[in-house]
Structure 1
Amino acid sequence: MLGGLFSQAGSTFNRVVKPRGSIEAGDDKPPSDTEPDDTSILDENEGSIITSLISQLRVGMDLSKVTFPTFVLEPRSMLERITDFMSHPDLIFGAEKFDNPEERFIRVLQYYLAGWHIKPKGVKKPYNPVLGEFFRCRYDYPDGSQAFYIAEQVSHHPPISAFFYISPQNHVSIVGELRPKSKFLGNSVSTTMEGENRVTLLGKPEDGEYVITMPNMYARGILFGKMVLELGDTCIAKNEKHGLFCDLEFKTKGFFSGTYNAIAGRVRQSSNDIGELSGRWSHVMEIKSTKSGQKRVLFDAVKDGQNVSPKWVLPEQQQEPNESRRLWAALTEAIQMKDMERATVAKTSVEDAQREQRRRREESGELHVPRFFEKVDGRWLPKLKVAKDPQEAVAAVQQWIFPSVVPRSPKPTP
């Protein structure tokens, strides 16, 4: 199939479209710290992105039905990619100990902003999860505390990924869902990231939820110029119990001026400004106090970006068939080996099996019931009631997510 796309489009368009990155293409030179695309696969095989996509694309079209070639794939599922936001837990652990609601709000912002710097080389797209697919992992922190994460594809049309992270001993719970919608815009692809993160500081239940929406994503330079991934538009963080809000703008670079990966935002309580956010999500982000004028660093991706909390995941042979790493194992291996023909076969195999399952459900009238999540008042929530006692909660979550795994003996926590 991939070869067919290349041959169809290549013969027609290679004669009239300049290669990506050419001077004629008007490359606007991304920053020096932007990693180059891994185009070795294209050079060795059949050409550029344009020759594989152009026959399918129309401006404004929904990309959910477009078959993306395997060389643009990041070798992990979107369900696993969401864990990037849990990479720096120290930024939010202990937030409930601050008496000032403003400080607790800023700590939640730190957690959220620190999740964006992790990205694959070049512009890559994670696998679209199939219905019923799930990813689970555990975090074992140096102080003996633990955290657990589970994400599940709860809907196929429209695509919805629900996720849940909890660290009972550190008094943090995060629930949310993502509903991505992608469109082709000519020389770029936009992905509208509908959905939200709902953070609860379990040690401060009176705060209620901290709710954060997502910016949109743009892959620039699809047909010509340098391929660059950008975050754009505005998202909102809010805690309604304390009247705290932040309008956070992810700025896309202008064609002739501007800076890549810039952010700007205002933190306010009701109508009163508290602080001003600035910086770059790939480098350093700061907040400036409206009262004192003092600045403090929220996150330094250059200095602290490598300090990512490791995930513990079951070995693939012990995973269930619809668990992300096992489900996509053949595709991941082929991508890592740069065997695009084999990768295409592996990707098609998973998608064909998904279509067959959907056909059988339609014929039988059977409805898919998610395993870990349920829809309550329009929001996807985990099918688990968490005990207030941290040790009881750890045991219950462990049994719910990893029922066949012998739990690790946790160290006593103060």
Structure 2
Amino acid sequence: MGAMRARRPPGRHRRGEAGAEGQRATYREVIAIREFRALWYGQGLSLLGDQLAQVALAVLVYHRTQSALATAAVYALTYLPSIVGGPLLAGLADRFARRGVMLACDLIRFALVAAMALPFMPFWALCALVFLVVLLSAPFSAARAALLPEVLDGDTYVIGSALQNMTNQAAQMLGFAAGGAMIATMGPYRALALDAATFLGSALILASGVRRRPAPRPGDGSKPSMWTMTRAGARLVFGTRNLRTLVLFAWLCGFYVLPEGIAAPYADRLAAGGPLSAPVITGLLMAAMPTGTVIGAFLFSRFVTPARRLRLMGWLAVLSCAPLIVTALRPPLAVVLGAWVLSGIGGAYQLAANAAFVQAVPAGRRAQAFGIVHSGLMAVQGAGILVGGYAAERLGPEPVVALSGVAGVICAAVLALLWTESRGDRAARMSAEAPA
């Protein structure tokens, strides 16, 4: 298999070939596709800038206001626009050319973040700019998610998604680890200016590396309003049991992301009488799940066949939550880190859920569907972190993390059963429709 693919000229891709008959695509094959490289490089560049900007923004707001509440409120602004704007603005990538939507969002965000980097910008204006920058991430992310299946097909799509997932997690680890040191050296305003430059760089990469495609058109040639498209997208996503189950699989992350939101108070407990300080342990805890996600995405996409990924999806979803239950025993740091890494590995099931979702949604409506799912994703993560923080103040972090694991396992088990039934029904229909 590898020798046959090696003879293909770089940059060419025969759609639908990878993944046929259970074949696995290779990372080399996917990276050889020029358009994917442009999407991938642009994503990595802007993600690094965003992580740096998050740290810079927190430092800047606290320095100006000396208020923990104001700092937390600005951080909350990074969730709210995606929840509100996702369902409404994501449909723009189904109305207009997706490459053009991405370029427009990048250029506008470049201007907005450049304005944030001005030292004389008042606090209220800074909050407004943050809101607008994050709001524009909804149509950009929806356009990129809808464009990726047009660039990659079959198993190459899963491999490409895995690469993007690993890039996302690696950028988080690197950005949070290096952000503080860089801001201490260059200051928050220069860090925001650097983030603005990453949006400009992303736009240049997309303009040069992604070819123009016409805008998706509705089957009847009409141009429905944004509200109409939002309602139609909601009916599409939640209208069938198969798609509802896949969406709920995606939203299951609210359970296993919750521990990251209370990593700081958990680290205070673990640091008591130990050799490591609470800030160091906080960083280790927050890096544990992204590390597991990178490992899981690589193993799941590289060594598991496409058909087997769908069969393992429910079991891995259970694995994403089950290790968290061990925290009820108040184990030492090494055990907690191991459990959180294992939880991140289980999160690799999202690759299979994402691929199945793409196949089930019509190409012309993918952006709207992805926007609705992404909006819910932000909502469940934000709500989970808020509920977890509230409960941790009263019960302590260990039982809250364990309860989150228990609830997640129960929900994952139910979804696994629904998914098994759904796959069985599809197989039965295909057998009945097959010619004798």
More strand by share: 1
TM-score of the alignment, normalized to the shorter chain, above 0.5: no
More helix by share: 2
What range describes the TM-score normalised by the shorter chain of this pair?
under 0.3
TM superposition score normalised by structure 1: 0.25
TM superposition score normalised by structure 2: 0.24
